[in-house]
Chains A and B, each alone.
Chain A
Amino acid sequence: SQQGEEDPQALSIQEGENATMNCSYKTSINNLQWYRQNSGRGLVHLILIRSNEREKHSGRLRVTLDTSKKSSSLLITASRAADTASYFCATGGGATNKLIFGTGTLLAVQP
């Protein structure tokens, strides 16, 4: 399978705690993107990190990228119940930038 792997598969935390999700991939990439999905429908784009970047921040989100290890992590700080969702990493590569998705992490934030 070309899919990337994400761990953990599921994560349950309390409101206010930090959540860390990891992603590993197999191919060379142009960029790596993180998406959130609620209720199995549309994907909401969270953050994009380019292959020549190592770290990026957006609000409560922090993403790191290690191309030598073909891995990335997403940190959500001070989590809220509204952060409950599935989170997917996706690598964009090649001339078309088509996305190869990870298996996803189901995050549950308990109020």
Chain B
Amino acid sequence: GAGVSQSPSNKVTEKGKDVELRCDPISGHTALYWYRQSLGQGLEFLIYFQGNSAPDKSGLPSDRFSAERTGGSVSTLTIQRTQQEDSAVYLCASSLYVTEKETQYFGPGTRLLVL
């Protein structure tokens, strides 16, 4: 079956512009996660969705970052007024449920470069 997909694969933007990153999780997966991988910070958690609600947003680095999920499926991560420190690979993952035996499956990521 299809895995997690993300678009775009690469995004180059100018400082101050807004960007939207999309994630299509594996069909039927109830849990969806966003992570970020940057040189300075490694891999870090951003936000978690269960269905359409986000009970854990603790990893979002500032109020310029927001995310939503609709129909219990597709999620969009929006970064407003991008800064150079936002440059990173943004990774989305999904899992069927949230139990101690659940694997998180990752998408290929979106590489964001803010000039």
Contact = CB atoms under 8 A, between A and B. Distances in A.
Chain B at the A interface: mostly helix, strand, loop or mixed?
strand
Contacts, number: 73
Interface size class of A (residues with CB under 8 A): 20 to 34
Interface stretch (B11-19, B21-29, B68-76, B102-110): B102-110
Interface string A25-60: 000001101010000111111001011000000000
Given A40-B89, A50-B100, A3 B106 contact: no
A77 to B, nearest CB: 22
B104 A99 contact: yes
Chain A at the B interface: mostly helix, strand, loop or mixed?
strand
Interface of A: 3, 30-31, 33, 35, 40-45, 48, 50-51, 88, 90, 92, 95-101, 103-104
Interface of B: 31, 33, 35, 37, 42-45, 48, 50, 55-56, 59, 89, 91, 93, 95, 98-109, 111
